[in-house]
Amino acid sequence: MKTNKIFLHLGLFIITFITTTFAGAEWAAGQSSTYEFSVLVSKGLPYAISIMFFLSVHEFGHYFAAKYHKVETTLPYYIPFPPISGFLNFGTMGAVIKTKSAIRNNKAMFDIGAAGPIAGFIASLIILIYGFTHLPTVDYLLTIHPDYFDPKYGKGIISLKEIREKNFHPFLITSLREKGIEVGLLKLHIFRPFPHQKLLKLLSHSERSEESHIKLINVLDRSVTMSTMGGPIYVELRSALYDSPNHPLLADYIYGLGGRDIDVEQIIDVALKGEQIIKKNKVEKPVDYIGLRE
């Protein structure tokens, strides 16, 4: 292999290691910012080492399987990507290798294709076992929930048990309407297959008119999606409404990251923000986060 090619692979590895270090610091801090070197080392390196270890083991699984079957292939090309909060903040888009000669039979094709995921699975198990055997102390929990041991902690929080046993949703909607906010609630009972047609029928028009009767949809997502902006429900709903004429405005609020709680006041705040969006007839921040540490 030519020397300049080796330097290319090494350079991409180093750059990707740097971008994943910054991404790790951002995940640990809960926000994008400029970080001191000590923070990058203590917060960013564990993430960077873990993800680079996983990527390397995965790609070299393909590489060594190709070598075993006498298929010429390149070293891994690591793909760095600067972390962008709320969009793609993993610090990398992965890695690839390129075969340079023909794969002669189906067995070789299968072995080369399967070797990467199998090796990556073993690597992820090693990381998982290490994580569970090196859990942080309760002090780390207190940095996220400082009032965790307070007797009042958890009061006013929306819990899954309350939602199921006390029918919490109608209470919340009534509370918002008593504040003069015209609001309704739509719960998804199935995500796959996504009920595009039913949602369009419910959201796009009233029964009496072809005019849109809903001005804004606030989506509450509990996770982010890879390689696109927003949570999974928001992405699917935005796609469903794309070709719908006069469709309502759409805003996404991602909550519960890192196991954080959400309370009634935070949801009321989302509704109040919605009123401002309707007045301006513009969503200035399509994707927002609830409860992230400042």
Sorted by sequence, the CB contacts under 8 Å of residue 258 that are 6+ apart come out as: 30, 144
Separation CA 139–CA 252 (nearest Å): 32
Which has the higher per-residue pLDDT, 7 or 35? 7
Residue 45 main-chain phi, psi, to 5 deg: -60, -45
Single-letter amino acid code for the residue at 131: G
Which has the higher per-residue pLDDT, 263 or 119? 119
Cα-trace Rg, the chain: 24
For the segment 217-275, what is each residue's pLDDT rounded down to a tens digit?
A: 888 888 877 667 788 888 888 888 777 777 788 898 888 776 667 777 788 788 888 88
Give the C-alpha distances (Å, rounded to integers) separating 112 from 18, 54, 64, 100, 143: 29, 17, 8, 13, 45
Q: Write out the two tokens for 222.
A: 């509990």
For the segment 156-194, what is each residue's pLDDT rounded down to a tens digit?
A: 544 444 444 445 556 677 777 777 777 877 777 777 777
Which has the higher per-residue pLDDT, 109 or 141? 109
List 84's β-bridge partners, or say none.
88
Per-domain boundaries in the chain: 3-135, 160-289
Residue 249: its pLDDT value, please?
A: 87
Q: Is the pLDDT of residue 211 over 90?
A: no
Most confident option among 151-155, 205-209, 229-233, 256-260: 229-233
Q: What is the CATH number of domain 160-289?
A: 3.40.50.920
Residue 239: its pLDDT value, please?
A: 83
pLDDT-based confidence at 152, cuts 50/70/90? low
Residue 165: its pLDDT value, please?
A: 43
Answer yes or no: pTM beyond 0.85. Answer: no
Q: Of the given ranges (30-39, 46-55, 72-81), which has the lowest mean pLDDT?
A: 30-39
Single-letter amino acid code for the residue at 200: L
